[in-house]
Amino acid sequence: MKFDTPATTNPIDQLKVIGKPLDRIDGRFKTTGTARYSYERHDVVPNPAYGHVLGAAIAKGRIKSFDLAAAKSAPGVLAIVTADNAGALDKGKNNTAKLLGGPEIEHYHQAIAVVVAESFEQARAAAQLIRVDYQDDGGSFDLRAGMADAKPAKVLGGPADSAVGDFATAFAAAPVQLEQMYSTPDESHAMMEPHATTAVWDGDRLTLWTSNQMIAWGVGEVAKTLKMPKENVRLVSEYIGGGFGSKLFVRTDAILAALGARAAGRPVKLTLQRALVFNNTTHRPATVQRIRIGADKDGKITAIGHESWSGDLPGGKPDGAVSQTRQLYAGANRMTATRLAVLDLPEGNAMRAPGEASGMMALEIAVDEIAEKLAMDPIEFRILNDTQVVPDNAKEASKESQTVGSASKSELPFSQRQLVQCFQTGRDRFGWAKRNPKPGEVRDGRWLVGLGVAAAFRNNQLTKSAARVRLEQDGRIVVETDMTDIGTGSYTIIAQTAAEMMGVPIDKVVVLLGDSAFPVSAGSGGQWGGNNSTAGVYAACIKLREMIAQKLGVNSAEAAFTDGEVRTGARGVALADAARDGALSAEDGIEYGDLDKKYQQSTFGAHFVEVGVDAATAEIRVRRMLAVCAAGRILNPKTARSQVIGAMTMGVGAALMEELVVDKRRGFFVNHDLAGYEVPVHGDIPHQEVVFLDETDPMSSPMKAKGIAELGICGVAAAVANAVYNATGVRVRDYPVTLDKLIDKLPAVG
């Protein structure tokens, strides 16, 4: 199905099942321990061997020699695979470094060997017996030291640099100016389920039960890496215990499980130990950001500039921290710049809301700071500088318009933009009017109390997605698509879509996901999964409805599918009657035209946070949180709320505790486990309220939905930091906001 005109009234608009806060249909499997995760596929591999990965002990250099003798003779060892005996390997197009290193080493904990043994303990013990002689070439591990040599690098969906008007002149002339530097640290996804794979060979055919967000991408990457035909690779990911972007691309566990299984002649289970999740897989890269804002005395932005520096391995990509600044606030004179330094740290790559999450950590503090200089309420300042068109349409502008002094040649309207309404709704609901604008003035016993706010912004991305839908003889509807569920509720909203379209209760729908044998879906990532995957199911259901109508001899355009029947006028026929002679199956997908070129599709929100800061110790406690979101039709308010509060929690972590500490001598993340890398726990998070504005976006898809999973994190950290400033009068611009950055600057205890 081609979606190239705005959606009109369609069966989804009935809202009998769609839009209802239904429980997750996968919930009972997860709560009873019967959900089948990749490492636990005892049903398909009853007697596997076990793999254990050895990571490099240097960050850059080469392996001069291996001594494998002791490991090979250790009890239970079946095989040891290194680059020397793995055979010819390629590198996946989405991998910055090789997934099996040697002899060259590109980063610390790059996998250099996998030991396969009868038990996990035997494989782990044998791996410790491997002796490696390295040539250590040192390396570059300090972003600030590398900034001077950083080079322009394109961000996702746009150029490295953008310019509209004459920023330098306008900023210099602005009567009110802000210029500040901000920094965000390296962060880890730290998902609950580590990267894990069970690998089985059947002749020259490979099946991987693996934890992966993008099945079709994964098939291609495995085939390319192992130099084998794609049709000989099958990936299955029925359940994923957290990904947050770290499992968008195939990682070491999948490739080394496959290589180990081939070498041992046995199925192999392999999970990355937690330290390798931090240093072997991807992370959110650190940034240094310079923001300049000029405004007139009435508070209108006249100049806005955002520059960002981040680092990655050679051939890597930058953090897109400037992306939202091109679209979020009005201002006639603008510039953004992205610079990438070459660092020999583990690979930086996508983490929940890549770009916007880190960019808004800086931008939304800067906006508060310029508002304070203007003596304006920070919400009023944001509302005053709202825009209904993209002020810097960098992805559409021609090369000539990317130079200083040129204007973007096209003004792209937003399909929907309720940012102002988000702020107004949240302001009233949160009690913002009670906020004292003078920092450090409100106390509750020993606690200094402050309120903070920030905008939320994330673009809506469209990507084609397909599904197969089948009507069984007993009236059940079966949906098959390689879409994954990374804890987001995919099983449920896909079932709701099919139930709505086919006129059956949700318990009459069976959803099968995460298998490369199924039609290729959008996959999970970038908050594009829900809207696109359900749109693909919608398309397949339209085709199945036409087949059923034809089988029953009715006009599909006039037929109503409701309560398990197909009705035309006063006549109703049981849906199952159409499959009396055998199941009916239809396959189709959604493909998009150019509506996203004519209208900018984005999601918006406002985050409100109240914190308490201990007046003596500077301990920070988040007391309450509110998110107001405008993100198209909400397909299931319950699962959507779960996504937002999870994202809000991650935002608190980014604000107050998360930081991968770099050993700048040896080039690795020191706190590479969940004891040293702190993330929020239940005791850190208070009541969280989420409000969804009533919105549908007919430009987006037949579902009129967009995305929500990443919007919930964007701006949260800045709202926390702004609240801490309001509570204490101490402005922290280098995350995380920890008590050592506050304690000697707090107001006197009286």
Task: Say whether pLDDT at 717 is over 70.
Answer: yes
How far is Cα 271 from Cα 607, in angstroms, rounded to an integer? 37
111-117 and 49-55: which strand pairing? antiparallel
**Mean pLDDT within 21-44:** 94
Question: What SS3 string covers 238-307?
Answer: CECCCCCCCCCCCCHHHHHHHHHHHHHCCCEEEECCHHHHHHCCCEECCEEEEEEEEECCCCCEEEEEEE
Distance CA 371, CA 327 (A): 19
Whether 154 has a pLDDT exceeding 80, the answer reads yes
- Pull the structure tokens for residue 128: 């410790």
Residues 364-389, buried b or exposed e (16+ Cβ, 10 A)? bbbbbbbbbebebbbbebbbbbebee
- Confidence band, pLDDT 50/70/90 cuts, at residue 395: low
pLDDT of residue 396: 40
Q: Is the pLDDT of residue 459 over 80?
A: yes
Half-sphere exposure of 539 (CA within 13 A, CB side): 24
Give the H or E element holding residue 565.
strand 565-568
Task: Specify the DSSP class assigned to residue 515.
Answer: B
Rounded to 10 deg, the angle between the 637-656 and 716-728 helix axes is: 50
> Hey, is 336 helix, strand or coil?
strand
| Residue 197 pLDDT | 98
**In the predicted structure, residue 399 carries a pLDDT above the cut 70:** no
C-alpha 380/C-alpha 385 separation (Å) is 9
Judged against a pLDDT cut of 50, whether residue 401 lies above it is answered with no
Find, among 79, 68, 76, the residue nearest to 130 by Cα. Answer: 68
- State the chain's mean pLDDT as an integer: 96
Amino acid at 725: Y
- Given a cut of 90, whether residue 504 has pLDDT beyond it is yes
Q: What is the pLDDT of residues 639-676, one digit of tens each?
A: 999 999 999 999 999 999 999 999 999 999 999 999 99
Fold entry, domain 414-460+601-750: Aldehyde Oxidoreductase; domain 4 (3.30.365)
Structure tokens at 435: 């906020």
Q: Are strands 571-574 and 565-568 parallel, antiparallel or unpaired?
A: antiparallel
Both tokens of 533, joined, read 């995957």
pLDDT at residue 205 in the model: 98
Residue 333's nearest CA partner among 400, 408, 416 is 408
Neighbour count for residue 547 (Cβ, 10 Å): 17
Q: Among all chains, which residue has been given the structure tokens 């590198």?
A: 91
Is residue 520 predicted with pLDDT exceeding 70?
A: yes
Tell me how far apart the alpha carbons of residues 107 and 113 are, in angstroms, rounded to a whole number. 14
| Residues 271, 196 contacting (CB under 8 angstroms) | yes
Residues annotated as part of the active site: 710
Q: Which two tokens stand for residue 663?
A: 């050993």
Question: What does the buried/exposed string (b/e) look like for 574-584 if buried means 16 or more CB atoms within 10 Å of the residue's CB?
Answer: ebbebbeeeeb
Q: What's the pLDDT score for residue 750?
A: 66
Cis ω for the linkage preceding 736 (within 30 of 0): yes
Q: Do 109 and 275 contact (CB within 8 A), yes or no?
A: yes
Q: Report the pLDDT averaged over residues 16-34.
A: 96
Cα dihedral: 484, 487, 492, 495 (round 10)? 0
The residues pairing with 37 across neighbouring beta strands, listed in sequence order, are: 239
What is the pTM for the complete model shown? 0.97
Q: Do domains 2-35+462-598 and 414-460+601-750 have the same CATH topology?
A: yes
Phi then psi for residue 709, to 5 deg, are: -65, -30
Report the alpha-carbon distance of residue 215 to residue 523 in Å, rounded: 7
pLDDT tens, 540-590? 999 999 999 999 999 988 999 999 999 998 889 999 999 999 999 999 999
Task: Say how many C-beta atoms besides its own lie within 10 A of residue 263's C-beta.
Answer: 19
Residue 303 phi, psi dihedral angles, 5° rounding: -155, 135
Full strand arrangement of the beta sheet holding 2-3:
2-3, 584-592, 465-471, 477-480, 509-512
Q: What tens digit of pLDDT does each residue of 184-237 get?
A: 999 999 999 999 999 999 999 999 999 999 999 999 999 999 999 999 999 999
- The conformation of residue 325, written as its DSSP 8-state character, comes to G
Confidence class for position 410, pLDDT limits 50, 70, 90 = low
Instruction: Give CA–CA dist 176/543, Å, rounded.
Output: 59
Residue 400 has pLDDT above 60, yes or no: no
Residue 226, phi then psi, degrees to nearest 5: -90, 0
Q: Is residue 279 pLDDT above 90, yes or no?
A: yes
Question: Comparing C-alpha atoms, which of 148, 125, 268 is closest to residue 210?
Answer: 268
Look at residues 386, 501, 449, 433 and name the one whose alpha carbon lies nearest to residue 615: 449
If you search the block for the tokens 């809506």, which residue do you land on?
A: 460
pLDDT at 402 over 70: no
Structure confidence at residue 311 (pLDDT)? 98
Measured from the Cβ of residue 403, the count of other Cβ atoms closer than 10 Å reads: 10
Q: What percent of the chain has pLDDT over 70?
A: 98
In CATH, the architecture of 2-35+462-598 is: 2-Layer Sandwich (3.30)
Is the model's pLDDT at 61 over the cut of 50? yes
What average pLDDT score do residues 725-735 get?
Answer: 98
pLDDT at 309 over 80: yes
Q: Where are the domains of the chain?
A: 2-35+462-598, 414-460+601-750
